[in-house]
Structure 1
């Protein structure tokens, strides 16, 4: 049996489905980490896409691509890490998204989790490339002494759970050699 099948048994006892589907109707909102339960703060928009819960300040337009910051965490420190990072992002009007529940984080950090998303717990989107170093440094200081899994696609910043990579903030695709769409970023020149 393919070990990835186990994740698709979580949403329904009788049928395979995407793990986040059990959360689509909000029935599991009570299992969310405390900082992301309920409505978005005034002046913010909250939205759900897959197993991500996103928060964005109203009226803020981000560039199509740039440096993004990923935060990892383990079961024993995830609630604390999210509380600090969400508080920082809300105070500084930084858009962010997170895996909202311990169950989904456990699936993401599992031995047979998809390597592309493994370890990613929170993503923070700095306003611009100019603000990226300051935001990254602040998060590193905020999470000093915390631990989390290494994120394979990213560069670790310091010794903690802060990682970064350059990538798209909005979906953008080009056609691959086989004719199928592949994720892409634009050449800045």
Structure 2
């Protein structure tokens, strides 16, 4: 799911750059790739992959590594018109290539529309909302950055529980929670916030 999501985001980025360039909006094109590199790839995807890379599933690790390498190469291709020299240098250094294998003069990337996975995009967008909501509550309530907190979940249907099980390592790492438990009632002094269809319960009164 995670890898299908980032591949789909590469497709979206390329289409947005194409549209901006067709309309001679070069600043918009540059801003699109900038936001993708920093906002999507670095801030989210690479952070999502850390628990997977540090895990025990070798097949998952291999898939993440291959996907990360592919996305990085696409970033260099999409950045090349804006930063030709540094992208050419990086392109040559990240893999063994023939001397005449250059970004300069190579075809502009065009991706198959089927690479866009709406289901994966929906699931990862939901995960991002969960993490962002927890981070927002922590910041609003002045919870120390390094403090681990509990996460309780109300109103979780079976689909939501399956997602939370699948994404728990990422939530624990990126929102600094001890784990996910389920409850019917919020403890006294807890903060509640809704990420449809669940309610996140954060018992932080004693922190």
The alignment's TM-score, normalised by the length of structure 1, stands at 0.25
More strand by share: 1
**Structure exhibiting the larger radius of gyration computed from Cα positions:** 2
More helix by share: 2
The alignment's TM-score, normalised by the length of structure 2, stands at 0.23
